[in-house]
Amino acid sequence: MGHRKITAAIVAFAFCSPAFAQKVDNKTWYQQDFETDSVYGISLKKAYGFLQNKKSTPIIVAVIDGGIDTTHEDLKSVLWTNPKEIAGNKKDDDKNGYVDDIHGWNFLGNANGKNVDKEAEEKYRVYYKYKERFAGKTIDVNTLSKLDKYEYLSWKRAADEVADPAKAKEDEQKAVFFADIYDNFFKADTIMQTALGKKEFTFDSVSQYSSTNNNYIRAKYVFQAVHQIFPNLEGSMSNTEFLSGMKEERDKYQKATTARQKAPTPYRQEVVQDSYDDFKDRSYGNGDIYGGDPMHGTHVSGIIAATRNNGIGIDGVADNVKILSVRAVPDGDEYDKDIALAIRYAVDNGAKVINMSFGKPFSP
């Protein structure tokens, strides 16, 4: 899946020209205009100036992602609500196959309310699915049927990646690298929480802190060392956000290393229990679009449609839209069937635009 917190930190950048420092709105800088604000934004404010006194038509924008925080104060008013469904009565009022789909649907869950949070990468799923059938055998592709040839070539491609010693070594090194940073930062973070008297703070607040206590000095040094390792990391990043990002990267490479040794746990199948190869088996899941960690879907939805001009957080790009959330992307690679059905669900419920901020390098 393509939603990595630490990657955003690594590639984040800061403008340092005097004009930017004077005029930039830190929350909506990307909506500003270079000619009027000296900021390389998308000129959204200028666009809204052109649209004054023009009537807009409300549209539904679907966000197929890892979920959305339905309680978020800047998103509650822009959530799509199914007009044909009665909340909480545990009935499929609109007869579309989905019970209590009030603000969207979750294809990563079951009727008992359990949800899928993590999954393996697709290449490992494909590799182990066909391993017994193809591994260690001499295969003449010219003798295979069209389907068998496709499945063999898919497995061969996956096998080449899974068994690549250079890639395996790289993943092992990265697993150790991120685990080392996580462990050291976790210890330093615990100490700095005591020093600053709060559980959440920014890198900037640590750099401005001074003490004669050796433990606090050493903890501060760890924060400074992290900033040297990731020089583009913004000072406004919080300790909790960085720690979460490090854990995500550590777990990703540790999972990759483990997956080369044994077949991944079929988390999705254990929870969803659909007939995956039967596309007509589509009424699985539940109405819990919050899911396990809705951070990315909430982030995306906020950029699109956070309530404008209410003085809370940012202003979304689009006015007069409703966000229809479809949860189909776990922490790991999504399943093609879930995505296909998510698109169908979105269109069937009136979505004119669909945002899909994810991707995987390997797909069957």
pLDDT tens profile 314-356: 999 999 999 999 999 998 899 999 999 999 999 999 999 999 9
Q: Domain range for residue 330?
A: 57-119+275-364
Asked if the structure places residue 85 within a domain, the reply is yes
For the chain, what is the domain count? Answer: 4
Question: What is the predicted pLDDT for the residue at 293?
Answer: 87
**18-27, 160-169, 247-256, 317-326: which range is least confident on average?**
18-27
107 and 129 both lie in a single domain: no
Tell the burial category of 120 from Cβ atoms under 10 Å away from its Cβ (0-12, 13-18, 19+): buried
pLDDT tens profile 2-47: 444 444 443 333 334 444 344 556 778 899 999 988 999 999 989 9
18 and 85 both lie in a single domain: no
Q: Helix 122-134 and helix 146-162: axis angle, to 10°? A: 120
Question: What is the predicted pLDDT for the residue at 8?
Answer: 41
147 and 72 both lie in a single domain: no
Question: What is the predicted pLDDT for the residue at 24?
Answer: 58
Question: What is the predicted pLDDT for the residue at 364?
Answer: 73
Domain termination residue (choose one: 238, 264, 290) = 264
Question: What is the predicted pLDDT for the residue at 23?
Answer: 54
pLDDT tens profile 77-126: 999 999 999 999 999 999 999 999 999 999 999 999 999 999 999 999 99
At 63, which helix (H) or strand (E)? strand 59-65
280 and 362 both lie in a single domain: yes
CATH code at position 88: 3.40.50.200
Question: What is the predicted pLDDT for the residue at 18?
Answer: 41
Domain termination residue (choose one: 33, 55, 77) = 55
